[in-house]
Amino acid sequence: MTTIIENTTTKIIENDKLINLDYQIPKINENFAIGKALIDHITLIDHEECEAGDEDSFFVCDLNQIKKNVEIWKNHLPRIQPHYAIKCNTNIEVINLLYKLGVNFDCASKNEIDTILNLGFESSKIVYANPCKTNSFIRHAKINNVNLTTVDNVDELYKLAKFHSNCKILIRIMTDDEDAQCRLSTKFGCDLNVAIEQILPIAQNLGLNVVGVAFHVGSGAKDFKSIYKAIRDSRILFDAAKKFDFNMNILDIGGGFEFETFLESSKMVNDSIDEFFASTDVKLIAEPGRFFVANAFTLATHIIAKRSLPKNEDNINSMIYINDGVYGNMNCILFDHQKPLAFVLKNKDGYHYMERELKTISYSIWGPTCDGLDCVSSKSFLNYKVEVGDWLYFPNLGAYTSCATTQFNGFKNDTKILYV
């Protein structure tokens, strides 16, 4: 079995006391190739003379890590065909690579469908996994032979009957996602009673083609019982569907998988499938997003300003301002509850990629806009002292980052990506 998690004793300093924390931290994807790309790029920048924007933040994308992630998926969940949720990161290199590796796609809008079709990929590789679709998008799906979608309400059935009546339908059920950091069942998914008492009979009356069940347990869960419950509920719905002459044969277990917890979550999936879907020839699919891409992207940012602080209760040495933030590539802090980890790439003593000195100096880190909400971290310990002109890097920023940037306050959102 592949070991993907490292047990590390992490030392942090809090209120000037050294505390040993015995907990698991994700193995951060740092390798020589990423470091070389980061350093090569910033050494080219002459900060005294460069054009405005030359010192913008930039990504390094490690395509090999995406390959590894797909391999890990195939090793641990060999029965489950992944459909990458492209909203997570619509980078074309990434999508092309995933296609080559045999991954299919989860699209939620007309544009996302077109992204896949314009690359020349088959429409049969798409699940249109949005249970609340615009009418014109449903017609667009029909014209383009996108024939698998999700539904969680009766009105959606009438829309499909009218605009795409032979589309295959997965009933999206609600999950118990209270424990998840990004909850989805507050917005999507019907409960089992609604599925059985309303959706199945009406779909039957309308002559629609219900072929299975879908769910999403939310993202950032620590306890994977929600997966077990959702697969158990799916079984109940598969059995109930027979009474309405639907012979369900697709189970879509959604997304929410994270690299750091994949051993546990994939085990829960396998055990639950063995318990509830062992003897059936049901096609199993999933919609992972972040799992494939999060650890493949590292962001480098430039320190543009600094404000030293007098001695304070929080022991923050100074405030540093960088040229990316929550209105840019770190919108994931607001939208996806992520907490990006900062490391020093370069300071006056040179380059420090992959150097792990004891982190001793605390900073608050701020984005470049004029909004007080644009805070990257209210307290980060850095391993070295930094000044204006130095560079930081943030590993693990491939998911829900570049795809949701804004141009607020006149900052551009066309971050350069270097591939290794």
CB of 261 to ligand PLP, least distance (A): 12
Using rule CB under 6 A, residue 112 touches ligand PLP: no
61: annotated active-site residue: no
Between 380 and 402, name the residue whose CB sits nearer to ligand PLP. Answer: 402
Do you know the residue count of the chain? 420
- CA dihedral 216→222→228→233, nearest 10 degrees, is -40
- Distances 294 to 35, 41, 288, 298, 329 between C-alpha atoms, Å: 17, 22, 11, 9, 13
Among 61, 88, 231, 253, binds ligand PLP (CB under 6 A): 88
Please answer whether residues 91 and 417 qualify as being in contact, where contact means their C-beta atoms are separated by less than 8 angstroms. Answer: yes
Pick the piece of the chain touching ligand PLP (CB under 6 A) from 70-78, 85-93, 204-212, 342-350.
85-93
**How far is C-alpha 260 from the chain's CA centre?**
13
Pick the piece of the chain touching ligand PLP (CB under 6 A) from 26-34, 83-91, 271-279, 409-417.
83-91
Helices 110-118, 92-100: inter-axial angle, 10-degree rounding: 60
Q: What is the DSSP string of 5-56?
A: EEEEEEEEEETTEEEEEEEEEE-----HHHHHHHHHHHHT--TTTPPTTTT-
Between 376 and 399, name the residue whose CB sits nearer to ligand PLP. Answer: 399
Between 251 and 420, name the residue whose CB sits nearer to ligand PLP. Answer: 251
Using rule CB under 6 A, residue 76 touches ligand PLP: no
User: Which tokens sit at 56?
Assistant: 């913008």
* Residue 65 CB neighbour total at 10 angstroms: 22
Between 266 and 362, name the residue whose CB sits nearer to ligand PLP. Answer: 266
Q: Which helix (H) or strand (E) holds 136?
A: helix 135-143
CB of 84 to ligand PLP, least distance (A): 9
Between 57 and 401, name the residue whose CB sits nearer to ligand PLP. Answer: 401
User: Which tokens sit at 193?
Assistant: 């009673």
* Residue 229 CB neighbour total at 10 angstroms: 15
Which is catalytic among the residues 182, 190, 370, 403? 370
Using rule CB under 6 A, residue 297 touches ligand PLP: no
Between 260 and 287, name the residue whose CB sits nearer to ligand PLP. Answer: 287
Using rule CB under 6 A, residue 254 touches ligand PLP: yes
The number of helix segments (H) and strand segments (E) in the chain equals 12, 19
CB of 227 to ligand PLP, least distance (A): 13
Among 255, 325, 367, 368, binds ligand PLP (CB under 6 A): 255
Phi then psi for residue 308, to 5 deg, are -75, 145
Pick the piece of the chain touching ligand PLP (CB under 6 A) from 65-73, 274-282, 287-295, 317-325.
287-295
Q: Which helix (H) or strand (E) holds 318?
A: strand 318-322
CB of 337 to ligand PLP, least distance (A): 11
Among 91, 104, 175, 219, binds ligand PLP (CB under 6 A): 219
Instruction: Give the C-alpha separation, 30 to 32, whole Å.
Output: 7
User: Which tokens sit at 80?
Assistant: 């489950």
CB of 41 to ligand PLP, least distance (A): 28
Please answer whether residues 301 and 322 qualify as being in contact, where contact means their C-beta atoms are separated by less than 8 angstroms. Answer: yes
Size of the site for ligand PLP (CB under 6 A): 17
Using rule CB under 6 A, residue 256 touches ligand PLP: yes
- Per CB under 6 A, contacts with ligand PLP among 399-418 are 399
Between 34 and 129, name the residue whose CB sits nearer to ligand PLP. Answer: 129
* Residue 201 CB neighbour total at 10 angstroms: 13
CB of 97 to ligand PLP, least distance (A): 17
Using rule CB under 6 A, residue 398 touches ligand PLP: no
Please answer whether residues 251 and 212 qualify as being in contact, where contact means their C-beta atoms are separated by less than 8 angstroms. Answer: yes
Using rule CB under 6 A, residue 212 touches ligand PLP: no
Instruction: Give the C-alpha separation, 345 to 353, whole Å.
Output: 5
Using rule CB under 6 A, residue 359 touches ligand PLP: no
Pick the piece of the chain touching ligand PLP (CB under 6 A) from 47-55, 203-211, 252-260, 301-309.
252-260
Please answer whether residues 300 and 393 qualify as being in contact, where contact means their C-beta atoms are separated by less than 8 angstroms. Answer: yes
Pick the piece of the chain touching ligand PLP (CB under 6 A) from 80-88, 272-280, 374-382, 403-411.
80-88
DSSP state, 340?
P
Between 269 and 420, name the residue whose CB sits nearer to ligand PLP. Answer: 269
Handedness of CA 45, 47, 48, 51 (dihedral sign): positive
Q: Residue numbers of the site for ligand PLP (CB under 6 A)?
A: 85, 87-88, 106, 129, 216, 219, 254-257, 287-291, 399
> Catalytic residue numbers?
370
